[in-house]
Structure 1
């Protein structure tokens, strides 16, 4: 049985992870961590990592970037793998993650959806064949409570596109003013409204045709399932480095 410690258990995603875990017979959430403790679960919820006194195999984090430093130090102290499902990390945060990945196994993905990561893998194959004759734009849509913009997933997709191009490119976040679009631009546009779980469209606009890759998350459960599959993958992982969904999917 894989024993999971869930950080951010009182939040929306935390609750979804707890419910989704019932469909994973080899996973047990043994405790949670949240600055707003709840008694709605059948496991103990700690307010701080310093209070945790229970054995676990892997930690899943669905919270905010502000928790990163404490969670990484806690994981290093316990020599346990950690799964980072949060987004909005700063350059300093990313540098710290890389540093700690020399000590413990760290699983990090800007999006835990299997579908998004399959699309991301596909981009690596098709972008080199399309960039000359197509303009590339990304549109992402999320609920009105999402803090970071553009989404971590949009940046993930954009970085994959940029790294697949044989030319130097630049990001344009939204469009304003009167200048024409330049050929080396990758447009990234963010929409925030209502209760949209998550939508991402990659548009290849050519002369006479448009190619689109689209992904719509109908429920937060897709992210929870991805995180729990990552827990299965990482539970016995001992080699320190950064792992991602491509490792999990064997891509």
Structure 2
């Protein structure tokens, strides 16, 4: 049984991960890290990662970019594999992930859902075929408590599409401020925040007289928790390096 540390354990996603892990027989959460050190589960919670002196096999991080450096420092010091599911990381923090991956296994994905990562592959295939004659727009919808916009998943989809286009597109987030017609070489990214929407992502390929839509809808945060736990178990078997959902999908499939 693998021993997991859960960073961000008292947040919304942390509580879902705790519940999902408690129902499994292949792993257990041995400690939690959170700026709010209240103990709400069976495991101890630490505001400062270095206060934990027990043994663990991997870390799952669903914290906040402001808390993230502490997790990174702890993972480096203990040489522990870390699954990073925190969104809104800066370019500098992403670079720090790259550096950490030289010494420990690191798993990073803007979205831990297997389904989202499958539609990413579909979007890339569609963009490679349709880019010459179709405009590409991305719409993401989340609950009214989500802080970052656009979502990390929307940017992941945009980056994936961009990687197969012949020319790097411009990302446009606010057409209200642009008093001009849509340029060909751009991807529009639109954010909606409301209610308790877990996560909706829609990619539109709009051509002449036809529209192709690729869409993913999440009805529960549990899919992200399951993906993160599976990623942690996968990571305990890997050498140092930077991994993402494509590696996990390949492991599952083959």
- TM (norm. structure 2) is 0.95
Which blocks of at least 5 consecutive residues in structure 2 are unaligned?
none
Match in the other structure for 1:112 = 112
Alignment partners' CA distance in 1, 2:42 and 2:168: 53
1:42 Cα offset (Å): 1.0
> How many Å separate the matches in 1 of 2:194 and 2:126?
31
* Separation (CA, whole Å) in 1 of partners of 2:141 and 2:6: 27
Deviation at 1:187, TM superposition (A): 0.4
Partner of 1:25, secondary structure, is coil
Give structure 1 regions of 4+ aligned residues with deviation exceeding 4 angstroms: none
2:37 corresponds to: 37
Superposed, 1:34-183 pairs within 5 Å as 34-176=34-176, 177-183=178-184
Cα distance in 2, alignment partners of residues 213 and 117 from structure 1:
12
SS at match of 2:226: helix
Post-superposition CA distance 1:175-231 (Å, at most 9, x none): 114310011110000111111111100000111111000111101101101001101
Is the 8 Å Cα contact of residues 174 and 190 (structure 1) preserved in structure 2?
no
Tell me, yes or no, if the aligned pair for 1:4 and 1:31 is still in contact at 8 Å.
yes
Secondary structure of 1:187's match? strand
Structure 1 residues not aligned, in runs of 5+? none
Could you tell me how far apart the structure 2 residues matched to 1:138 and 1:50 are? Answer: 41
User: Residue deviations 1:22-51, cap 9 Å, x none?
Assistant: 332101111111111223211111121011
- What is the TM-score when the length of structure 1 is the normalising length? 0.96
Are the equivalent residues in 1 in contact too, given 2:201–2:215 (CA < 8 A)? yes
Cα-Cα RMSD: 1.2
